[in-house]
Structure 1
């Protein structure tokens, strides 16, 4: 039986408390902000584990969220299927997109890999801007000029507060999925590949297979995140899935700390909650870019494990002194 670490117990307790308390403590607009924050936490966890476990930089995660959101909206308006089936289809097809994206990138690392994924994100941005997201129309694209048709949420999460709990539970399950991979054969293979691809090959590890597995898992998480975001908003806009947003999400995953689950939470909070707070304070939300830039410099220079690494290190020191 796999042992749950103290960090794992802390994360579980954290999510249980947040699932129970956060929707009750939040107002209408903030419930929607926290819902989208949870969606971006799922996406950030996907790009973070690829960087932490394999050293691969993927700059197309938010674009893949758009793919998942597009499929979720199209499934919702075209078929009378349960929400969970639509979500699984969105995650599965986006996982295939992740594999397709991996084909030219499997033998590349560093700058070249980042550029390929960024170019793919730019191409998807153009598609989203040109053809828009389905809103209940007919035809393949499902777009109509009139008001969008209503989106069907899960029967157990029709209200905004209930849907926030639903999304937060999905976030927890996403972290559990990554942790399961880390502890099983894929995680051991990824660790060897990150240390040395040559040594991994000599040990019989199929490097291409496990890299493709990582891209697929990251794409699946992005698709789930995009599908859940579509359920929260009811309609998506191409501006949400610009290529520059993928760069921002990756940078914030580094700031938060790619090796820890808390890092993805910090990334999502910085990405969605901080700009919303600035708007509430009547400040220009673009000022957050200055903060993000300073935080990224701080992480690169003094905190290789990000803010979460510093937080965990601080608690470890206090525990050792007590």
Structure 2
């Protein structure tokens, strides 16, 4: 469930780009890896409190997100998705070379025989306490998204999604707001990566393949990018369903078959995802309730 909370924030970082700007990023899991790498390096190298490691990981991933925003100034749709997927592939190659810090010396902080664990927050040493800690951080992340969507940035994003030409005619700085959106998305993904580093207390390069970015994006669409609880549904499908199948004695990889059918269902009959269907169903129930 801690992993579900962490990947809820990752899904929310994807949804804010897709929902507000109509842009597709297939590099969010790699941005998580960036945030986790910096959190581990700061934790081992500078012995900083976990909260500062968390913030450093988020800011670094936000900076990488801003760099990824520049292709979005010229392209969108399939081409932008391919560019971000290539960036994720590049991260996978790079991280396999330098590895995640484990308490070793040098810039990378990695040594083959060293095993260093990232200390958790002082107030969240146990698994249960760290789960609560993650819930609070995720709630703050959703609040940050909501503040942006209600601000001038949110209004600018809405105009850009509708029509970039109309946005420019209205005086909206399209470049600024696209970069802003990618920075916010990267920051949230980096925070999620730092939380993952705190949960596991070490990270492995094999945990961030490009295919996982594609999967979490697809599940964000299935869950519903237009509702905040769509990110929760996506994370439940991504982390909880395979574990549940394993507990039943079924290979957890069978979940990918379910994900495929769910994606086809979402694209053909539920463009707003399962969260949208749930919301519509609740509205119909309220309308059919007898009046007092």
Q: Aligned Cα RMSD in Å?
A: 0.9
Q: Secondary structure at the match of 2:23?
A: coil
Q: Within 5 A, what are the aligned runs for 1:80-229? A: 80-229=47-196
Aligned to 2:13: 46
Measured in 1, the distance between the counterparts of 2:196 and 2:27 equals 17
Q: 1:257 aligns with which of 214, 224, 238?
A: 224
Residue in structure 2 matching 1:303, options 267, 270, 287: 270
For residues 277 and 162 of structure 2, what CA distance do their matches in structure 1 show? 23
Report the equivalent of 1:75.
42
Q: Is the 8 A contact 1:67 1:94 kept in 2?
A: yes
How many pairs does the alignment contain? 289
Of 146-155 and 278-287, the range deviating more from structure 2: 146-155
Paired with 1:149 and 1:132, the residues of 2 have a C-alpha distance of: 13
Give the match's secondary structure for 2:141.
helix
What is the Cα deviation at residue 104 of structure 1? 2.4
Residue pair 2:9, 2:138 contacting (<8 A) in 1 also: yes
Contact 1:105–1:116 (CA under 8 A) maintained in structure 2: no
How far the C-alpha of 1:205 sits from its partner, in A, is: 0.4
Q: Deviations over 1:95-144 (max 9, x none)?
A: 00101111223221111110110000000011112221110000011112
Indicate which of 222, 226, 244 corresponds to 1:277. 244
The answer to whether the Cα contact below 8 Å between 2:40 and 2:101 also exists between their aligned partners in 1 is yes
Q: Distance in 2 between matches of 1:134 and 1:278?
A: 33
Contact 2:116 2:202 in 1 (8 A): no
> Which deviations, in whole Å up to 9, do the C-alpha atoms of 1:64-94 show, x marking residues without a partner?
0000001111111001211111111111111
Note the alpha carbon deviations across 1:214-244, whole angstroms, 9 max, x for none. 0000000010000000000011112221000
* Aligned counterparts of 2:271 and 2:71: Cα–Cα separation in 1: 29
CA distance in 2, matches of 1:255, 1:285: 19
Q: Which residue number in structure 2 is paired with residue 21 of structure 1?
A: none
Q: Which of 227, 231, 256 is equivalent to 1:289?
A: 256
CA distance in structure 2 between the partners assigned to 1:134 and 1:206 by the alignment: 39
Q: CA shift at 1:147, angstroms? A: 4.5
Deviations for 1:176-220, whole angstroms, at most 9, x for unmatched residues? 111111111111111111111110010000111100000000000
* 1:146-195 residue CA offsets vs partner (Å, 9 max, x unmatched): 24123211111011100000001111111111111111111111111111
Counterparts of 2:74 and 2:170 in 1: how far apart (Å)? 18
| Contact in 1 for aligned 2:28/2:213 (Cα 8 Å) | yes
Shift of 1:38: 1.0
| Alignment check: 8 A CA contact 1:102 1:215 kept | yes
Cα offset for 1:287? Answer: 0.8
- Taking the aligned partners of 1:234 and 1:247, their CA distance within structure 2 comes to 25
Equivalent residue of 2:48, what SS?
coil
Equivalent-residue separation in structure 1 for 2:99 and 2:245 (angstroms): 29
Q: Which whole-Å CA distance do the structure 2 matches of 1:316 and 1:239 have between them?
A: 44
Distance in 2 between the 1:101 and 1:305 partners?
26
CA distance in 1, matches of 2:206, 2:114: 19
In structure 2, runs of 5+ residues without a counterpart are none
* Contact 2:30–2:209 (Cα < 8 Å) also in 1: yes
